[in-house]
Structure 1
Amino acid sequence: MFLQRSAFALARRAQTPVRAFAARPFSAAAVRCNKSKYEVKDERKMLSYEEVKSEHDLIPPGAKAGTIPSDVDQSTGLDRLELIGKMQGIDAFDMKPLDASRLGTLDDPIIVHGAGDEQYAGCTGFPADSHTVNWLTVSRDRPLERCMECGNVVKLKYVGPEEDPHAHHDAHGHHHHAHEDPKTFADYVKPEYWYR
């Protein structure tokens, strides 16, 4: 009761009449915005995996106004490339497990594809799961690696760009690597003994 009297007293003191407050409830207030600011100008279609040629092709159009975006509407970059590939049945990043039907040897190693200078491969032994995971590191400098526990041999098959973006060239065009790994005992073993 006290609250009701206070509201009426306040309304009487205000210069605007009471009916001006009640003319339009807050829930029905119209929101005005500049629609042209939020509209998507180019209606891009989703490209197929084969049509993707540059990073610009991996930018989505976004969701339509008033809808909740899905992964197709909003994923970008490598995530979008992987999504487009999966929709067409293409494994863009070769995520299938390594061949575990045989033991890799020096003459016939298990092939590991990699686009970088270094790739890690997990060996669980032969037959599969006969020991805990041993992580083997293969690189462009040392493409073969042997598991210490079961003797399985893996080999890096480099599938990346021919020019190394991380390598540096000096004024004379000589090639210099930006980072050199610390030396280990394996660096002092003669190369002819590496894979025996």
Structure 2
Amino acid sequence: MFALRRAAVAVAPVAARASVRPFSVMGARLSGAVSAESIEKNLGPGGQAGQVPTDLEQATGLERIELLAKLEGKEFFDMEPLNMTHIGTVKNPIVVKSHDNVRFVGCTGYPAESHDTIWISLDKSHDNDRCPECGSVFTMDFVGSEDDHHH
């Protein structure tokens, strides 16, 4: 049985074997999408030889930015629920801050918990986004940097 399996692999067409490729990020690095300054800023020094590195030493990217903010006594990501004091309208929408171009918001209606959670994708390119259940209008306040490339 094993001999048959080996024979089948040996005669398999090259196209069938070539369709399985390893995941690689070299294209993004070489394309200029990530600048050398942002790489240096987002990389930790690494661990010393023979020692277990700390979280700060081995953290990279957004995790490193979050850890550095916590060392300063700040929270980089706002994890508090939205303060739904009113139902959002086009003239008075619920404003959601975001460091990214797209952010997902869970709407539970007004007053709170008046319907099941519906996830809405807020996009920086949209003026407003609306909950299909209660009609509440949300808008994004983009507080991120256009230079950040968090993929």
Residue 72 of structure 2 corresponds to which residue in structure 1? 88
Aligned equivalent of 2:49, options 46, 60, 65: 65
TM-score, length basis structure 2: 0.60
Residue 77 of structure 1 corresponds to which residue in structure 2? 61
Distance 1:148 1:125 in 2: 10
Percentage of identical aligned residues: 40
Deviation, 1:164, is 10
Are residues 58 and 139 of structure 1, via their aligned partners in 2, closer, same or farther at CA, if it must alter by over 3 Å? closer
TM-score, length basis structure 1: 0.48
User: Where in structure 2 are there 5+ consecutive unaligned residues?
Assistant: 1-36
One-letter amino acid of the counterpart of residue 135, structure 2 = G
Are residues 164 and 81 of structure 1, via their aligned partners in 2, closer, same or farther at CA, if it must alter by over 3 Å? closer
Aligned equivalent of 1:120, options 84, 104, 109: 104
Distance 1:83 1:164 in 2: 17
One-letter amino acid of the counterpart of residue 106, structure 2 = G
Are residues 164 and 69 of structure 1, via their aligned partners in 2, closer, same or farther at CA, if it must alter by over 3 Å? closer
User: Where in structure 1 are there 5+ consecutive unaligned residues?
Assistant: 1-52, 166-196
Aligned equivalent of 1:132, options 111, 116, 138: 116
> Which of 1 and 2 has higher RCO (CA within 8 Å, sep 6+)?
2
Equivalences for residues 1-196 of structure 1 within 5 A? 54-162=38-146
SS at match of 2:96: strand
Distance 1:159 1:108 in 2: 19
Distance 2:57 2:102 in 1: 33
SS at match of 1:84: helix
Deviation, 1:95, is 3.4
